[in-house]
Amino acid sequence: MKAAWYETQGAPKEAFQVGEMADPSPALGEVRVRMHASGANPTDTYTRSGLRKRGLPYPRIIPHQDGAGVIDAVGEGVPRSRIGERVWIYMAQWQRASGTCAQYCALPSRLAPALPDNCSFNEGASLGVPWLTAHYAVTMHGSVAGQTVLVGGGTGAVGYYCIQIAKAKGAKVIATVGSADKGALARSAGADDVVDFRAEDVGERISALTNGRGADRILEPFFAKNAAHYPKMLAKNGSIIVYGAGGAEGSISASWGIQTHPTLCFIYMYELPDDSYVKAVADFSSMQSAGKLRHLPVREFTLEQIAAVHEAVEAGNSGTRMIVNLP
């Protein structure tokens, strides 16, 4: 099979290789997927770049957690009826050497749920990390029905799904965006109000939109940048769900915290409770099959352009998903 991989850490053009390697075979409880599309996320760049300074966990790594394709073989313990099934893939490379950026990917059957017929392979490859993060961030503290949810970065891969999940579950949604065009994109996902963080005082604007009360829940991709604004943004007894640091450090006022009683949670998508993945997959299937889910536009690359894919992800192109089409 053709695949992209790296055996050293560094810049994309220095680290990546593209070539041929042996096709994988599905082991016990696994399926093999003929990949059609592989989705790239910021977390896919961390090990390759050496950002986390942990070294290489495996001698050779085929990157990417997310993807979509068709099951063409199954291992022992998996029904043969799964062969031919369209699937989307999540967490393919979590604690494993081989992800989705190859013509074939073998992985546990549960990590390859069915892809509804009205969802393209490119859209399916856009799901994994963003959808699972968004779903847990919205739902982890119970119902949001009747609440005001503030979605930071409403046109980011996670934020765009956060808007839709929160709206589907009965919340009023305010989204922060970086331009008027992105404001329109966030509204297309269902945001009731948008705040341009480049042109407005976010804290003042959120306070005005909520009559001084603040949002009941903040879904936060940039904690270090935004923590100082929480006194104007969060309602008493509200919650802040942090899924992105946005910098090395962030701080909140202890006296404000004592008076406001906020719940502050940090989440890591790869280590959520087991049932959260099951619930996220079920809600995706329901919303997608009913035609109630929108996906961000994609930018398509060939396998030979893998370095450019990672450069684009590292540049932080909000509002667009980077997808590798597999030959």
Question: What is the end-to-end Cα distance of the chain in Å, rounded?
Answer: 10
Query: What are the structural domains, with CATH classification, of the chain?
Result: 2-126+295-325 (3.90.180.10), 130-270 (3.90.180.10)
Q: Nearest to residue 309, comparing CAs of 6, 1, 60, 26?
A: 6
pTM: 0.95
Q: Which two tokens stand for residue 266?
A: 């940090």
How confident is the model at residue 250, as a pLDDT? 85
How confident is the model at residue 297, as a pLDDT? 95
Q: Nearest to residue 295, comparing CAs of 116, 42, 43?
A: 116
How confident is the model at residue 246, as a pLDDT? 80
How confident is the model at residue 252, as a pLDDT? 87
How confident is the model at residue 1, as a pLDDT? 98
CB distance 309 to 317 below 8 Å: no
Q: What is the C-alpha to C-alpha distance for residues 195 and 152, in angstroms, rounded to an integer? A: 10
- Chunked mean pLDDT (size 10), the chain, 327 residues: 97 98 98 98 95 89 98 98 98 98 98 98 98 97 95 96 98 96 96 95 92 96 92 95 87 90 95 96 98 96 98 90 96
How confident is the model at residue 158, as a pLDDT? 97
How confident is the model at residue 245, as a pLDDT? 86
How confident is the model at residue 249, as a pLDDT? 83
Residue 240 Cα distances to 80, 131, 215, 219, 222, angstroms:
44, 18, 10, 6, 11
How confident is the model at residue 295, as a pLDDT? 97
Q: What is the C-alpha to C-alpha distance for residues 209 and 195, in angstroms, rounded to an integer? A: 10
Per-residue pLDDT tens digits for 277-314: 999 999 999 999 999 999 999 999 999 999 999 999 99
Q: In the 8-state DSSP scheme, what is residue 23?
A: P
Q: Nearest to residue 135, comparing CAs of 263, 255, 10, 286?
A: 286
Per-residue pLDDT tens digits for 172-198: 999 999 999 999 999 999 999 999 999
How confident is the model at residue 316, as a pLDDT? 86
CB distance 118 to 144 below 8 Å: no
**CA 152 to mean position of chain CA atoms:** 14
